[in-house]
Amino acid sequence: MIMPAGRPLLLPANSRFIALTVVVGLLLNMLLGFVGWHWLPDVLAIVVVFWNVHQPRRVGVLLAFLLGLALDVHESALLGQNALSYVVLSSMALAIQRRLLWFPLREQALQIVPLFVATALLEWVIRLIVQDAWPHWTQLFAPLMQAALWPLIGALLLAPQRRAFDPDNIRPL
């Protein structure tokens, strides 16, 4: 396998690890939803986009839809509001998946910003149409915070998959 210079080789992700990270992301989203601050990042969206980019055959649009429905039920929101935004987010992530993998995580964060901003605007439009109320302006900070967290969460999620260039009998990895 030919890899760009200086990039570590990655093992395939374990399905249990993917499921664990998705459940932890869902639980973090549910806990952050109790606080009521609109500027907090959507951790589940970051995790879903990350796995859509790095493991598109295991995590796809259907899982994003189901997670969005679970979040809709939890938030007592319009049924399908978060599901629609997660499906759109996953579709856009799958569209740029191959190009995104050529960049390091910090540069990926710059390319992920439009995806998070577009889904935030989609949620704004849905709330304007349905609730007939102007959404809070602090929700504009959430997509920027999600992009800022992308390198950190990406490094955490890629850590179990990394392996050494020259494995030997001394090192376990």
pLDDT in tens, 73-128: 988 878 888 899 999 999 999 999 999 989 998 999 999 999 999 999 998 888 88
Distance CA 131, CA 82 (A): 15
DSSP state of 57: T
pLDDT in tens, 32-88: 877 777 678 889 999 999 999 998 888 889 999 999 999 989 888 788 888 999 999
**Predicted structure pTM score:** 0.84
Say which residues have a Cβ less than 8 Å from residue 167's Cβ, sequence separation at least 6: 173
Distance CA 70, CA 33 (A): 13
CA angle 19, 161, 153 (to 5 degrees): 65
Helix axes 141-158, 43-54, angle to 10 degrees: 50
State how far Cα 98 lies from the chain centre. Answer: 16
Say which residues have a Cβ less than 8 Å from residue 81's Cβ, sequence separation at least 6: 68, 72, 123, 126, 127, 130
CA angle 74, 78, 83 (to 5 degrees): 75
